[in-house]
Structure 1
């Protein structure tokens, strides 16, 4: 293993080249050039993987969304033992480009950091995974099969994975999702569980009139204050935790640093609800007859989304909002792996061999790990900080890239 680590340290320029090339593809989702850019990026990745000896193919999911699958045969060639590594190549829009210190797609290197859109979320981890497997293969150290799955629609809901079956893509023994897993809330993390999502749209109705005769109308905007009055009550809805999830949750709490313990406990006790968008009004001098509020709710294992939906409806009705329409826009279930699984222990031991401050965490966001956890033990571990994802001047450090490359290499070799 030391030879592989030495090779990783000596050939840092390769990971720089991989990541810079990946960032140069403007795989913004959504964008006008999205289809062209993801096509070019997937072909670039296919070329890299085939040069390393992978058997690669691009399949199409529902909606003609492409997915690249690259498979490596291990020396044992046990078809019943295949590790899946999953990552997405799409990135979010850059926002006001004039606020960036450099072009988001030029990969500027400064003071041992690489700046560019997608560097942290999650092209940095893709580059690290490719760099790791190249070194493992170079030293003929791959024991069992590894399959890389590159998707391109994670930032808009991952419909490509949603509609595929087990035989097509989820036919592995265990899975790593390479999302950034570091954070100010837990330092370096290995996510063995993650939050679910419930998106709601609240539609408040009224009656239009001329603003000078406002008593003839029914102002929909004024009705939303009733919603904000009961917001604390909705946020205090308890989340029951299923008994089968308690061993892993207890393990996570036991490993948590004291300064992060309150963060975990608060996330385990209550839903995280945020009003994120308001839309309403017709014209400045017209009483509005319709206002919409979009609500983002994050849930944890044990939450029954439909029961939660009904409880919210009852609270709104009790507050006097009998006529508010509640639309369920999206549900993604929370997910959790088994605490006693050997694979999770392998990942944890590998990570702490390289850097001794990795701990199991519950990821606050929703990742593609939720799809793989239906079929196999799955963890999220990758380079970069969650706070940098989607941010202005997004960056990753070379120290993070090298560290996660070594962790991946250790897992790939010992799986």
Structure 2
């Protein structure tokens, strides 16, 4: 890899804004062929249920299913996988799960109420969703960490039933994924994927109960299906390619920073890795490290394409300017590899997850630090947040009027309702008015 294999930008250049816009440009699922295919699958599953799920699963995943029983896994299958995996992997999953569970326990919201002077009670009741579906990639792209990150917050929230769908192309299932499901407390597992799995979760079939929310990553067909069923069920987000943005003062080992950039680039060719620094010589050093370290990666071709197409080393005049640029980008992952990084935290407005200090590799957040690795991408950190317990809890308002409160509020409501021309509203409130 040469220096030219990853672009160099300078925030001082007159056309920097347009260059940055071009770098960040990415269109989510917009292929009409994909959308038309997904629409047909959703309709068929909605109309024919399990029969359509079996048909599409056999076609796309090269299976020979005969009925829904063939894609339903028992609890024994999960515990058996947990027993089969090497002890080191089992312990690693257990440690990661414990840390994820502990972190998300801190997110639990509680119901609250307060009483006004006339006896009226107002408040909010927090309740968990009843059923949640989690989509987990299968086959070669098997991620047990995704099972933990999606299922554990739901269980901490108190969701009654967590249903996992995971494709098994050619009948292949990953023991680590099944073991993670056992550790996370997943209640039901179906070995199906694609748009047909999303449809089954959204509408329900004879064998698969309809869920209230669908979370988890998938390919373009899964993303398109999630977008299409949104409104019938809730979804977590439409995720774009993985991203990392590193702000460095030039004092961190360039090999460390280069490998942090590569950790995202190896995801896929559309992943994005960006480094911001005021030290031009450090940018040169990181570029050299990228060339040196890339050759040793099993996924070097994917990472090299990602860096060439969407990566950048950007020179800025200061850490403050780097934060300004970062806030504009609103990255999924933000590393602040500088002295006393906590001093800059109040200035960071938009980021999915913030990794402070030279020793805090983003990869720790992917697996075992504790916070969720399901994060907003493509600039959506400007208005959205990481997946958490709050995504699986609902809030209901509580209003309990005393006679005095009904009299006081009824007068206000009556006036406003008549102002809106809604007489029944006004009279409904007026019936409770008891005073003069």
* TM-score, normalization by structure 1: 0.26
More strand by share: 1
More helix by share: 2
| Bigger radius of gyration | 2
* TM-score, normalization by structure 2: 0.25
